[in-house]
Amino acid sequence: MKNRTFDYNALIGESNPLLRYPELKEAAIDEFAAKRYDDASLNDILKKAGISKGSFYHHFGGKFGLYAAVMDIVTQKKLSYFYPLMQEKLDTTDFFGTLKVAIKATTEFMLDDERMQHLSSRLMEEDDGFRSRLFGIFGVNYYESFNEWVYQAVQSGQIDSRYPPGFVVKLIEVTFANIHKLVSSGEPEYLLETAIQVIDVVQYGISRKHPASDQHQDRRQL
């Protein structure tokens, strides 16, 4: 059910009603972390949380409102791991160095609550229309900001121009979204070190010498 007249902006920030309904918050995180939005069962969430439909629709307007409220909590929690990076500065002259700081923060976020990391990553599986609608509530499109950062790195020569920027964006997005598969077990220090190695692979590849590099150099000399 979609409530077009509901003010979804009222779900964001300190007024987020999930802050007053911890059982609903946990049930929703569990469900949305395990399934895509369309597949998630609102009835299962409400049953698990013990919330009546009347009260639910009054506070959230519908399933989309609940999802937006959950993503507000997940986003704020995730951003708390990125605040030091954001407060220092986003170094546009060291793309991969900054990327290592970002994946370290992502790994720390995952180690704190793997469900939230799964939910955050699952958002990538939703269609562009759904994501645009959601970002419209938050007033910022994190994916567009990331795309711009990648394009700047290509223009400054930090990323090889033979790789389309859109491909690089998707590669990094998929890498971050699946960090739990690459960093799955061990002590936190080991997992963080492994996460850094993931960026080394993205930057340098796994072969000792990439044959395409020689071909690219030869073409430039012609």
pLDDT recorded at residue 222: 45
Residue 16 included in any domain? yes
Asked if residue 3 is part of any domain, the answer here is: no
Is 2 within the bounds of a domain? no
Among residues 146, 6, 114, which one has the least CA distance to residue 67? 6
C-alpha to C-alpha distance for 55 and 77, rounded to whole angstroms: 26
Does 196 reside within a domain? yes
Nearest C-alpha neighbor of 6 from the set 74, 80, 73, 65: 65
Ranges of residues in the chain with a pLDDT under 70 are 1-4, 83-92, 141-142, 208-222
pLDDT value at residue 220:
46
In the chain, the number of structural domains is: 1
The pTM is what?
Answer: 0.75
Domain that holds residue 205: 8-221
Q: With helix as H, strand as E and coil as C, how does the chain read?
A: CCCCCCCHHHHCHHHCHHHHCHHHHHHHHHHHHHCCHHHCCHHHHHHHHCCCHHHHHHHHCCHHHHHHHHHHHHHHHHHHHHHHHHHHCCCCCCHHHHHHHHHHHHHHHHHHCHHHHHHHHHHHHCCHHHHHHHHHHHCCCHHHHHHHHHHHHHHCCCCCCCCCHHHHHHHHHHHHHCHHHHCCCCCHHHHHHHHHHHHHHHHHCCCCCCHHHHHHHHHHHC
Q: Is residue 39 part of a domain?
A: yes
Q: Residue 29 maps to which CATH number?
A: 1.10.357.10
Extract the tokens encoding 211: 């044959």
In a domain, 60, yes or no: yes
Could you tell me if 116 and 109 are in contact, meaning their C-beta atoms sit under 8 angstroms apart? yes
Distance CA 139, CA 156 (A): 29
> For position 79, what pLDDT does the model report?
81
Is 138 domain-assigned? Answer: yes
State pLDDT tens for residues 67-84.
999 999 998 888 887 766
User: Is residue 1 in some structural domain?
Assistant: no
Residue 63 has a pLDDT of 96
CA distance 79 to 58: 29
